[in-house]
Amino acid sequence: MDNPGRQPSFPSEGDSFDISEKTMARHRRLFGRILTVLTMVFAATVIIPLLWVLVSVFQKGAGALVFPDIFTKLPPPPGLSEGGFGHAIIGSLMTLGIATMIAVPFGVIAAIYLAEFGRGTKLAYLVKFSCNVLTGVPAILCGLFAYSIVVKPMGGFSAFSGGVALAVLMLPIIIRSTEEALLLVPNEMRLAARYWCQPISNCRSNCLTRRPNFYCH
């Protein structure tokens, strides 16, 4: 019979437990090996068809890669094998350029307002809330937005309509990333920048109107 006054013994920090396969039950080892084999079979079932598709595409498409025609010519008509996708490259660059010209200025200005001037205001809260909503909006909805305000009034598709849709997707990312970058600037550096910019703002009226400004230093 156990002694009721005896304290139970617990393993100390230095004690180690043997959890190797030798100490495991036979059915658990067998079950683990079966699951390992099934995992490898399922992985091979997925990877082998993928590799077969990639090899087949490379074998059939390698002969059509004629440089530099593939980057300069238009797609061939049905039944022909020569041509390229130059229009796709030009269209992508045009769409990206239009989206950048639309989204970057508005995004940077909004981020500067949020980080420097609008902390705690209702407008800043509205802008942040809108950014969070736009971040989770599917791209198809941005395309429908551009279709309703650009494509239908203009009467057809264009690079500008694609740039507007892409700008809507880029805008919340630019705003939040720029705001976070501005918030990482130390307060001492921010105050120093304001101090050095003050003489320039005081001299601005003198530079524009040629009137003396005694506060210019």
pLDDT tens, 65-118? 777 777 777 777 666 666 677 788 888 899 999 999 999 999 999 988 888 888
- The backbone torsions φ and ψ at residue 212, rounded to the nearest 5 degrees and listed phi first, read -70, 140
Q: What is the pTM of this model?
A: 0.60
Whether residue 107 is found in the same domain as residue 173 = yes
Strand, coil or helix: 68: coil
Q: In the chain, which residue ranges form alpha helices assigned H by DSSP?
A: 26-61, 69-72, 86-112, 122-135, 139-146, 152-154, 159-183, 187-209
- What's the pLDDT band for 20 if we cut at 50, 70, 90? low
Round to whole Å and give the CA distance between 116 and 125: 14
The total number of structural domains that make up the chain: 2
Does residue 20 fall inside a structural domain? Answer: no
Does residue 76 fall inside a structural domain? Answer: no
pLDDT tens, 129-166? 888 888 888 888 888 888 888 888 888 888 888 899 99
Range of the domain at 195: 187-217
> Has residue 196 got a pLDDT over 70?
no
Whether residue 146 is found in the same domain as residue 199 = no
Whether residue 107 is found in the same domain as residue 174 = yes
> Has residue 192 got a pLDDT over 60?
yes
Whether residue 151 is found in the same domain as residue 117 = yes
Query: Residues 178, 108: contact at Cβ < 8 Å?
Result: yes
